[in-house]
Structure 1
Amino acid sequence: MLVDMKLFAAIAVAVILVGGFLWLKPRRNAPKKNSGVGNITQPKGD
Protein backbone atom coordinates (compact mmCIF):
# COMPACT_ATOMS: atom_id res chain seq x y z
CA MET A 1 0.00 0.00 0.00
CA LEU A 2 2.82 2.39 0.87
CA VAL A 3 4.60 1.64 -2.40
CA ASP A 4 1.35 2.15 -4.31
CA MET A 5 0.82 5.57 -2.75
CA LYS A 6 4.44 6.58 -3.39
CA LEU A 7 4.20 5.41 -6.99
CA PHE A 8 0.89 7.19 -7.51
CA ALA A 9 2.23 10.39 -5.94
CA ALA A 10 5.42 10.26 -8.01
CA ILE A 11 3.48 9.67 -11.24
CA ALA A 12 0.96 12.40 -10.40
CA VAL A 13 3.72 14.91 -9.63
CA ALA A 14 5.64 13.98 -12.79
CA VAL A 15 2.53 14.25 -14.97
CA ILE A 16 1.56 17.60 -13.45
CA LEU A 17 5.09 18.99 -13.75
CA VAL A 18 5.71 17.76 -17.30
CA GLY A 19 2.16 18.44 -18.47
CA GLY A 20 2.08 21.90 -16.94
CA PHE A 21 5.53 22.76 -18.31
CA LEU A 22 4.70 21.57 -21.83
CA TRP A 23 1.27 23.25 -21.72
CA LEU A 24 2.52 26.56 -20.31
CA LYS A 25 5.68 26.91 -22.43
CA PRO A 26 3.95 26.92 -25.86
CA ARG A 27 1.09 29.06 -24.49
CA ARG A 28 3.58 31.66 -23.24
CA ASN A 29 5.52 31.82 -26.52
CA ALA A 30 2.53 31.42 -28.84
CA PRO A 31 0.85 34.80 -28.16
CA LYS A 32 4.12 36.70 -28.66
CA LYS A 33 5.02 34.94 -31.92
CA ASN A 34 1.50 34.52 -33.34
CA SER A 35 0.43 37.99 -32.20
CA GLY A 36 2.19 39.62 -35.16
CA VAL A 37 3.05 36.75 -37.49
CA GLY A 38 -0.22 34.83 -37.11
CA ASN A 39 -2.42 37.85 -37.75
CA ILE A 40 -0.53 38.79 -40.92
CA THR A 41 -0.11 35.23 -42.21
CA GLN A 42 -3.72 34.10 -41.78
CA PRO A 43 -5.44 36.75 -43.97
CA LYS A 44 -2.73 36.50 -46.65
CA GLY A 45 -2.92 32.70 -46.73
CA ASP A 46 -6.71 32.81 -46.85
Structure 2
Amino acid sequence: MAKCPHCESDITEWAQRLEQADRASTPKVWTCPDCDSVLGISDWGSE
Protein backbone atom coordinates (compact mmCIF):
# COMPACT_ATOMS: atom_id res chain seq x y z
CA MET A 1 0.00 0.00 0.00
CA ALA A 2 1.26 3.46 -0.91
CA LYS A 3 0.56 6.42 1.35
CA CYS A 4 0.97 10.13 0.80
CA PRO A 5 3.73 11.34 3.16
CA HIS A 6 1.83 14.60 3.68
CA CYS A 7 -1.75 13.55 4.44
CA GLU A 8 -1.42 9.75 4.93
CA SER A 9 -4.07 9.04 2.24
CA ASP A 10 -3.98 5.65 0.54
CA ILE A 11 -2.71 6.43 -2.97
CA THR A 12 -2.09 2.85 -4.10
CA GLU A 13 -4.72 2.81 -6.87
CA TRP A 14 -3.71 6.28 -8.05
CA ALA A 15 -0.04 5.22 -8.27
CA GLN A 16 -0.94 2.05 -10.19
CA ARG A 17 -2.91 4.07 -12.76
CA LEU A 18 0.10 6.36 -13.28
CA GLU A 19 2.44 3.40 -13.72
CA GLN A 20 0.18 1.86 -16.38
CA ALA A 21 -0.46 5.08 -18.34
CA ASP A 22 1.39 6.04 -21.50
CA ARG A 23 4.31 8.36 -20.85
CA ALA A 24 2.76 11.18 -22.89
CA SER A 25 -0.42 11.11 -20.82
CA THR A 26 1.23 11.15 -17.40
CA PRO A 27 1.59 14.48 -15.62
CA LYS A 28 4.95 16.24 -15.43
CA VAL A 29 4.40 16.97 -11.73
CA TRP A 30 2.66 14.29 -9.67
CA THR A 31 0.45 15.60 -6.89
CA CYS A 32 -1.57 13.78 -4.27
CA PRO A 33 -5.20 13.47 -5.41
CA ASP A 34 -6.40 14.30 -1.89
CA CYS A 35 -4.14 17.09 -0.58
CA ASP A 36 -2.43 18.32 -3.81
CA SER A 37 1.06 18.07 -2.29
CA VAL A 38 3.81 17.41 -4.83
CA LEU A 39 4.88 13.77 -4.65
CA GLY A 40 7.29 13.65 -7.56
CA ILE A 41 8.38 15.04 -10.89
CA SER A 42 8.41 12.95 -14.04
CA ASP A 43 11.56 12.89 -16.15
CA TRP A 44 9.90 11.61 -19.34
CA GLY A 45 10.21 15.01 -21.01
CA SER A 46 13.98 15.16 -20.58
CA GLU A 47 14.92 12.35 -22.94
TM-score under structure 2 normalisation?
A: 0.28
Computing the radius of gyration from Cα coordinates, the structure with the larger value is: 1
Q: Which has the higher helix share?
A: 1
Using CA pairs below 8 Å that are at least 6 residues apart, which structure has the higher relative contact order?
2
**TM-score by structure 1 length?**
0.28
Specify which structure has the higher proportion of strand: 2
